[in-house]
Structure 1
């Protein structure tokens, strides 16, 4: 490994976010059969938000949440901490079958969900280092700058106002965050920084206070009509809701529903070079590369920096311990120091990976089949921190038979074809990211147009 490592460097061990607060002691596993009104499989953000709103809407419900590890073990405790109002999918695809107005309403609900998470965190006393500082997207090549301008034009066509997104000059951008080589940038206020694990653990505490029964260390071996089966017993329930996101491929019968895509992160030591970097407003930072990055300045003055590492394991296998390959750590370090040369004197203190769920059309779904009592939510394609809140509220309304504005959003009941069998799945995903890397390299030479290689990659996987 070429990246400079701190003496206490850790690779994996869930994530850095748990390093600072400690990995929780799991609750007692399920021991015996129980009867419930609603059984929820998965105690990530989706499952926890669904349980929270179910109990808020109907305190008399018996809600049981089953989790293989501990609440917040998966992507909910490993993500980049972007509470962003971004659609978990394509506005055009959502509009295709449900109309433009419905897709526009979906976007406004996503914006509002950022403030809803902040409201609940305040109400429930969840201190998750929340700061609503907005989101910068930066372009560092002419082709990226052209895509950035085109993205803002497209966002305006889908109802974003100048108050929702704005183009910045290079001078305006570097005055706030001094990104090396920045050519253009956009800014949106609809994003907040969070410490992901603190939010997950705070939600877990909140639902237990409301009376939700949370059983950790309880793997579910079968989800079927009226029951969720575990080694310790069966939960019989009128409704069984699958909220397993990136781990869905491990659920029997759902192996090819959503692709488990890996994303990796590194975090630096606390930095003393902020005068050179700027970044005083706790904004989140992304870029317009095909092989994109995402970053935050943490509450304790580090940079947490993420991107795609080894994106997919053959056969939808899961590396659930969070270990990151050496070459990924090196690649993220090189990219980080190209953005911020002032960081070169620091070291990497932690590296980890997480798994997100990707449907075949790259659009998230929420649904409930009343004929079977089986429901689901997920497939957020990396935009789940905020989308899980909206999904949880929507799934709670569906479960209670409530006819609301949320239950008519275009992701409700959405079904798409499954991913191809192996080896086509592995070949397609790896070809896509190989082409994206090559496209970024070509665009770095100064070409003003998006590389045709990126367009081929989009065609291969339907991105």
Structure 2
């Protein structure tokens, strides 16, 4: 590692994520050991699979629900994310409205906001201590061009029913002080969570309801009414794919969703003087308006968990499952963290890790169930999955039970999206996009409006 990044004596790179440091990385539980018959089989024990199992068993306790997981519950993005329980829509208001109208796109946004409180309520009910604090989210602009984008985003939000109470401009430093910030917004619709605690607590709640989670059980084939593994086949009326960034590993689905990498570093605990100097007194989440954006949280034990893009995509939709992070990425994240908060330079990096999120070709998440084949899925959350998975789980519950509810008519239900281009086109496209974003961010330091390079990057990948 570069000498410019101070590392703690117990520094760890990968090993899934920092979020498991306090509890230890779980060993996979017992695998499937025979053929089974069930009502519903769910492939993937991340948030989507766990929420779906939870709501199904709460609604119909008699249902036989089985979950198959290649590693352990919470191994993927559910145990590695930045801990943002956010109301931001996992997709484009405009694209949802284009097919279903303005009112329906607005309704989807309100359901996203409500889902934050639903997650909090379930955690309270089930005794899941996930370090949840709902103190909102601050987004900052650090250049004139970013500030123009930020103000425009507030104006653009209003037609979608996002009011002054949902999102507003604030003075830089009103909520917390970021070096070089020239503009900021604040929204109450975001809560800090500890991702692994939520995943593990939800897995416990699901098991308590009578759901069996077979861990260490890779699924090699999903077909109508069955999920096949090396250890046995589960046949069921409904087969739900909840694999998000790992979807490309399944046969025939390599181009379905792009597995996009995101990386994080976390500091050692910072002293009270740091929090006083920055004015970061609560558990607000922090983001910015750069194209090559960052995201951060103040952890329950007073660290900064700071994330952004590393190597955005591996050729052929490959995934580095253990979360190892490249040296250059760690350097970039540390440089950006200390640029935002110079006082953090006296700390050190305790842990770095990476994970993948699922990106559809139109960057909009979706839920789907085919009653004829029993095949269903949800995902493509583009980095907003902590909240969206809860809404997906409740929506899949209603679809599986055959009930027409306000959730089953939301505009993300049944969306059809074309596949990503074959290689090497998708590798070239994604890496070109992020190269253009990095150059655009650099150029915008002396610009008053968004760089044309960023607009070109958006057009290349349909962002």
Pairwise TM-score range, normalised by the shorter structure: over 0.9
SS in 2 for 1:176: coil
2:252 pairs with 1:266: no
Q: Output the aligned Cα RMSD.
A: 0.6
Instruction: Give the TM-score, by structure 1 length.
Output: 0.99
Aligned twin of 1:460: 460
Aligned twin of 1:410: 411
SS in 2 for 1:270: coil
Aligned twin of 1:136: 138
SS in 2 for 1:208: helix
Q: How does 1:43-82 map to 2 (within 5 A)?
A: 43-82=45-84
SS in 2 for 1:154: helix
SS in 2 for 1:357: strand
Consecutive unaligned residues in structure 2, runs of 5 or more: none
2:378 pairs with 1:361: no
Whether the aligned pair in 1 keeps the contact of 2:138 and 2:175 (CA below 8 Å) is no
CA distance, structure 1, for counterparts of residue 403 and residue 205 of structure 2: 23
Residue 169 of structure 1 deviates from its aligned partner by 1.7
Give per-residue Cα distances to partners, 1:228-252, cap 9 Å, x unaligned.
0011100010000000000000011
Moved more, 21-30 or 364-373: 21-30
Aligned twin of 1:381: 382
Give per-residue Cα distances to partners, 1:145-168, cap 9 Å, x unaligned.
000001011111211111101101
SS in 2 for 1:355: strand
Residue 281 of structure 1 deviates from its aligned partner by 1.3
Residue 226 of structure 1 deviates from its aligned partner by 1.1
Residue 23 of structure 1 deviates from its aligned partner by 1.2
Aligned twin of 1:111: 113
CA distance, structure 2, for counterparts of residue 169 and residue 265 of structure 1: 28
CA distance, structure 2, for counterparts of residue 204 and residue 187 of structure 1: 33
Give per-residue Cα distances to partners, 1:286-330, cap 9 Å, x unaligned.
000000000000000000000000000000001010000000000
CA distance, structure 2, for counterparts of residue 61 and residue 35 of structure 1: 11
Aligned twin of 1:151: 153
Q: How does 1:249-398 map to 2 (within 5 A)?
A: 249-272=248-271, 273-398=274-399
CA distance, structure 1, for counterparts of residue 175 and residue 40 of structure 2: 47
Q: How many residues align?
A: 459
Give per-residue Cα distances to partners, 1:368-391, cap 9 Å, x unaligned.
011111000000000000000000
Q: How does 1:166-245 map to 2 (within 5 A)?
A: 166-170=168-172, 174-245=173-244
Residue 21 of structure 1 deviates from its aligned partner by 1.7
Moved more, 161-170 or 67-76: 161-170
Consecutive unaligned residues in structure 1, runs of 5 or more: none
SS in 2 for 1:353: strand
CA distance, structure 2, for counterparts of residue 389 and residue 377 of structure 1: 11
Whether the aligned pair in 1 keeps the contact of 2:51 and 2:393 (CA below 8 Å) is yes
CA distance, structure 2, for counterparts of residue 281 and residue 371 of structure 1: 50
CA distance, structure 2, for counterparts of residue 7 and residue 442 of structure 1: 38
Q: How does 1:414-429 map to 2 (within 5 A)?
A: 414-429=415-430
CA distance, structure 1, for counterparts of residue 259 and residue 27 of structure 2: 26
CA distance, structure 2, for counterparts of residue 334 and residue 405 of structure 1: 46
CA distance, structure 2, for counterparts of residue 288 and residue 188 of structure 1: 15
Whether the aligned pair in 1 keeps the contact of 2:368 and 2:414 (CA below 8 Å) is yes
Whether the aligned pair in 1 keeps the contact of 2:48 and 2:242 (CA below 8 Å) is yes
CA distance, structure 1, for counterparts of residue 174 and residue 91 of structure 2: 32
SS in 2 for 1:47: helix
Aligned twin of 1:121: 123
SS in 2 for 1:228: strand
Residue 47 of structure 1 deviates from its aligned partner by 0.2
CA distance, structure 2, for counterparts of residue 274 and residue 280 of structure 1: 6
SS in 2 for 1:407: coil
CA distance, structure 2, for counterparts of residue 38 and residue 175 of structure 1: 49
Residue 25 of structure 1 deviates from its aligned partner by 2.9
Give per-residue Cα distances to partners, 1:128-152, cap 9 Å, x unaligned.
0000000001000000000000101
Instruction: Give the TM-score, by structure 2 length.
Output: 0.99
Residue 175 of structure 1 deviates from its aligned partner by 3.8
SS in 2 for 1:24: coil
Give per-residue Cα distances to partners, 1:85-105, cap 9 Å, x unaligned.
011000000010111100000
Give per-residue Cα distances to partners, 1:258-294, cap 9 Å, x unaligned.
0000000000000012221221110000000000000
